[in-house]
Amino acid sequence: MIAVDVGGTFTDVVALRDGQIKTAKVTTDYAEVFGPVLEGAAALGVEDASVFNHASTHGLNAVITRRLPKIGFLTTEGHRDILDMGRVWRPAHAILDSRWRRSFGDAARPLVQRYLRRGIHERITADGGVLFELDEAQARTELEVLRSCGVTGVAICLINAYVNQAHEVRLRELVREVLGDVPCSISSEVSPLAKEYARASTTVIDTLMKIIYTDYTAKLEKGLADLGFSGELNFADCAATLVPSGRAMELPFRIVFSGPAAGTVGCAHFGGLIGENNLLCADVGGTSIDISVVTAGEPFVNTSFELEHDLVVNALANDISSIGAGGGSIVAIGPAGEIQVGPDSAGSSPGPACYGRGGTQPTTTDTCLMIGIIDPARFAGGAVNLDPALSLQAFENLDSEFTLAQKVRYAYEMAVNNMAEGVFNVAIKNGVDPRDYSLVAFGAAGPMLLPAVLDTVHCKQVIVPPNPGLFSALGLLSADQVFTANRSAYMLLTPEAAPAIDTLFGEMESQLREGLDEGTGVTFHRSMDAHLAGQSWETPFVPVPDGVIDADAITTMVQSFHDTYENRSGNRFESMPVEGVTFRVRAVLDTPKVAYPEVPQRGDAPLKPVRTTVLRYLGDIDADGEGAQTADVYDRDTLCAGDVVDGPAIVDEGLSTTHIGATQRATVGRYGELIIRRK
C-alpha cells in the first residue's frame, strides 16, 4: 500500500510493504504538482502496490491564493450577489471595524467576478412547485455572454433547486449546447441541501476543483500506469475517508481539504493500537499548527467547514483549527519592544534565514538551530543544509535592547506559548479537559516544540508516533473507503412522515449500492440533522435506526434527537416537536489499514547516547551565561521498546527531531512511539 500527501512545501510519500514502512520526501512543484508525486512513487516502487491513496492541498492552495480558472455562475434572477454577501457574518475581531471586507467579496478577491454571475428568469417554490418556468431564450442570451467572456466552467445554483432540480438539469443541457463540453456543476447534485448560500459556494468550489483536478488526475493515472501500477487509486476527502478517483472526480469539492484531515484519522487509528482513545492531535508544519480532537477513538466531524471566514463548503469534514505557528513563523519586535512570533511566516521561499535562500528575518527554525535542538548536518535527513551563522546574524539584526540570549530564549518561549494557547483553546472549544487527553505531536516540527507545552497545557502526556514527519501520509493508510449521500427535506418527525423518510433512505442506499461491486463488504450508517421546530440551525449526526422507517422508528429518531441535543447543549426539550432537515447515509467499506511493526526489546545491552550536545538559552540566562544544558543525543532507529530517556535529551531521526525537556522523561512504546511525561 502507498499513500501520498501533497503539501505546499513538500510531497510526502509512504509505502507499507512486507510489514515495513518506507518513506520519501520530495519538494512540491507548483508548475506540475503531479511530478513530485510520481517521483516519490518511483523511489518507493509502485509495481506491486494494491492501492495508492492520495491527499492534497493543491486545490485548497489555489483557492487561498486565487490562482483560479475563470468560471461563470448562474442563479435565479435577483440573486447574483449571493456569493458576495455570504452569510453576512463578521469575525469577532471585525465587529466594529468599518473597513473590514470579506476575503471573497467583490471588494477583495471574489471567486467569480460579478460580470460572470448571471441571473436566470425562473423560480421554484419551497415546496417544489414552479412559480416561473425557465426562460430558455433568456438563459441562452446569458450563456452567450459567458461564452464571449471565455469561461472554462459553469456553476449553477437556483433557488430551492434541492427540492426540484428540473430547471437546473435543463439549464445544464443549455450550457452544453452553447458552451460545449465544459465542466458544469449543479447544486441539486453537488449539495442538495437547504440554505442557498452554502449550496452556492459549494457548487462554485466543485466547478473549480473539476477544472483543477481533472487534468491532474488523468496525468497522475497515466504516470502511475507507466510506472507499472495496476491497483486502485483513491482520493481522500475532507474527513480523510477514501473514494476511488473516478467517483471523487464526480464531486471533487469533497477533496479540497483532504491533506490536514488525514493526520487526525492517523492519530485515531494509532491511538487505538496503543490504547489511547482520547487525543489532542497537533500537526506542526512550516506555516501553521493544525489541531483537532479525537474522543473515544472517533474524530470530531462537522457537516460543513470554512476555507476562509464565511467561505462555506457543505462537506463532511474533520473539525480542524489552524493557527499561524510553525517552523517558519517569523520572530519580530512588536510596537512596545516585545518579542513576537508569527503569524507571518517565511514559507518555503525564501524560508528561514538559516536556509540561505535570501531570508533575513529569524524564524522558529532559526531559534531551535541557535539553541542547538536542530543539528544543521542532519536537518531533513541531510537534504537541506543549514547555516547557523545566518541565524545568528538574523537575531543580531533584531532592533531590540534585549541581549542575544534573551532574544533567542524569549522567541522560543513565545513560539511554545502560541502553540500551547492554540491546543488549550481547541480543547475548551470542544468541551474536553486536556488532563484527560494525550497530545499527539507530529509534522516535521511537532516533536521539536510540542513536548514543551506539557507544563502549560497539563495534558496527560505527549505521544510522538513513528515517522512523525510523514504521519499525515501514513494516516491515509489508516482510513476507510466511504461513500456518502445526503438529502434535505423539512419534515416533522411524526408517524405520518414515516413513509416519505423510508423512501428517502431507500433511494439514497440504492444510489450508493449502484457504484459498488457485488459482494463488497459494506456497512450502512444512517443519520440525520434535525432541530426543534422553529429553530434555525440543526443538531447534526443524530442516529437513525436501520430497516424500515415506521411509527416505532420515528419514535426512536425523536428520542435519539433529544439525547444528542442534550449531549451537545446540556438542555432537553421533550415537549417540543422535532423537525428533520437533512437525512444522510454513509456506506463504509472493509478497507485494509496500516499495521505498525513492533520494535524489539533491548535485552542486556544498556541504552547509550550516540553523543552529547549543548543546548543554549534554556537554563538560567544572565549577563555572564547562556543558560547552557548538556543533553544526550539518541538515534531513534536504535531505540528499543521499554527504553527510558531522561531529559534534557534529543532524539534524532531522518525527517524530525524530538526535544525532551530537562523536567521530562520519555518511554519507548511497543511500536517505537515516544511517550513523554513530566518526571
Q: What pLDDT does residue 546 have?
A: 93
pLDDT value of position 614: 93
Topology (CATH level 3) of domain 481-589: Dna Ligase; domain 1 (3.30.1490)
All residues at 6 or more sequence positions from 5 whose CB lies less than 8 Å from its CB, including other chains: 11, 12, 55, 56, 259, 262, 470, 472, 473, 476
Q: Could you please report the per-residue DSSP string of 361-419?
A: S-BHHHHHHHHTSS-TTTGGGGTS---HHHHHHHHHTS--SS-HHHHHHHHHHHHHHHH
Residue 561: per-residue pLDDT:
96
pTM, full prediction = 0.84
The confidence score (pLDDT) of residue 589 equals 86
Which residues in the chain show pLDDT less than 70? 8-9, 348, 381-383, 518-520, 622-625
Which stretch of DSSP H or E encloses residue 120? strand 117-120
* pLDDT per residue as tens digits for the range 494-523: 999 999 999 999 999 998 888 777 666 788
Alpha helices in 275-317 (DSSP H): none
Q: Which helix (H) or strand (E) holds 39?
A: helix 34-44
Please list, in sequence order, all residues whose beta carbon lies within 8 angstroms of the beta carbon of residue 612, skipping any fewer than 6 positions away: 630, 631, 632, 633
Q: What are phi and psi of 469, to 5 degrees?
A: -65, -20
Estimate to the nearest angstrom the gap between the alpha carbon of 216 and the chain centroid. 20
Residue 509: which of 487, 477, 530, 491 has the closest Cα?
A: 487
User: Residue 113: its pLDDT value, please?
Assistant: 94
Residue 519's pLDDT is 62
Alpha carbons within 13 angstroms on the beta-carbon side of residue 130 total: 10
